[in-house]
């Protein structure tokens, strides 16, 4: 049985959540403990996780993000607009208030390879959430400074992502993946692994 492969295949980004679901904080803490085991440059462990469950704080985060998203959506090209439209993605970020929990993931700018290391931890985190039966999304807000100001985040931390966590409000298809032969070469660039 390929447990990790099965989990990775099952995991998908969820943008609509059931509200007020009784999710045990323990499940989220378990996933965070997994993330804390990630490797990092010089073992600096540059990540910092801020769990938000307070409804008012979620509202503040959503309103800052949506203001920035409105601007962002006006600037994007038609190809990207089409991609977003197909997936029902607009400037509205309802998941920021619907999801019972948000995790804001920060990297410490003073650490070496802080962004790379933090994203490895994020990868661990979203798979561990999947293992706990919890859905998530790696939302990357475009204006993070205002969020950090509102939440009194020290200047040395960079907001990498906001992860809503909860149960999906509706089912959705997994986005397709390219074939392993397109992505994995062996011995020579462009030479696919034949199995
Ligand atoms: C670095 C990164 C940034 C992302 N930013 C956003 C985002 O801002 N908003 C969003 O809706 N999805 C975001 N996503 C989710 C991707 O759109 C999603 O992972 C991709 O379409 C594949 O779908 P899947 O996760 O369901 O397999 C991001 C994913 C990654 C890894």
pTM comes to: 0.96
CA angle 182/187/193 to nearest 5° reads 40
- CB of 93 within 6 A of ligand 1: the answer is no
Smallest CA-to-CA distance from 35 within 14, 51, 13, 18 is with 51
Rounded Cα gap, residues 126 and 144, in angstroms = 21
Residue pair 165/136 in contact by the 8 Å Cβ criterion: yes
Is 141 among the domain residues?
Answer: yes
**Protein residue with its CA nearest to atom 19 in ligand 1:** 13
Is 187 among the domain residues?
Answer: no
Is 124 among the domain residues?
Answer: yes
Is 182 among the domain residues?
Answer: no
For the CA of 89, the closest atom of ligand 1 is: 11
Find the CATH number of the domain harbouring 100: 3.40.109.10
CA–centroid distance, residue 53 to ligand 1 (Å)? 22
Q: CA dist 41 to 110, 117, 131, Å?
A: 12, 6, 26
Q: Please write the tens of the pLDDT for every residue from 151-179.
A: 999 999 999 999 999 999 998 999 999 99
- CB of 139 within 6 A of ligand 1: the answer is yes
- By three-state DSSP, how is residue 135 classified? strand
CA–centroid distance, residue 140 to ligand 1 (Å)? 8
Is 22 among the domain residues?
Answer: yes
- By three-state DSSP, how is residue 47 classified? strand
Is 181 among the domain residues?
Answer: no
The structure tokens 């985190």 sit at 125
Is 192 among the domain residues?
Answer: no
Smallest CA-to-CA distance from 50 within 187, 159, 192 is with 159
- CB of 13 within 6 A of ligand 1: the answer is yes
CA–centroid distance, residue 88 to ligand 1 (Å)? 13
- pLDDT at residue 1 is higher than 90: no
Structure tokens at 5: 């492969």
CA–centroid distance, residue 125 to ligand 1 (Å)? 15
Q: Please write the tens of the pLDDT for every residue from 67-124.
A: 999 998 889 999 998 999 988 899 999 999 999 999 999 999 999 999 999 999 999 9
The domain of 144 spans: 12-168
Our count of domains for the chain comes to: 1
Q: H or E stretch including 132?
A: none
């Amino acid at each position: 049985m390929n447990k990790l492969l099965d989990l990775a295949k099952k995991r998908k980004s969820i943008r609509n959540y059931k509200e007020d679901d009784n999710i045990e904080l323990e499940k989220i803490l378990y996933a965070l403990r997994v993330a804390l085991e990630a490797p990092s440059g010089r073992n600096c462990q540059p990540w910092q996780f801020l769990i938000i469950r307070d409804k008012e704080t979620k509202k503040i985060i959503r309103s800052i993000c949506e203001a920035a998203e409105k601007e962002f959506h006006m600037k994007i090209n038609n190809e990207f607009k089409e991609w977003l439209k197909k997936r029902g993605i607009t400037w509205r970020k309802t998941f920021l208030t619907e999801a019972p929990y948000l995790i804001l993931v920060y990297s410490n700018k003073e650490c070496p390879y802080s962004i790379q290391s933090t994203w490895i931890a994020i990868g661990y985190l979203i798979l561990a959430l999947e293992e706990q039966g919890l859905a998530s999304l790696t939302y990357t807000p475009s204006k993070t400074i205002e969020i950090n100001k509102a939440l009194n985040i020290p200047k040395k931390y960079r907001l990498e992502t906001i992860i809503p966590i909860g149960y999906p409000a509706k089912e959705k298809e997994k986005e397709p993946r390219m074939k392993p032969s397109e992505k994995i070469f062996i011995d020579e660039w462009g030479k696919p692994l034949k199995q």
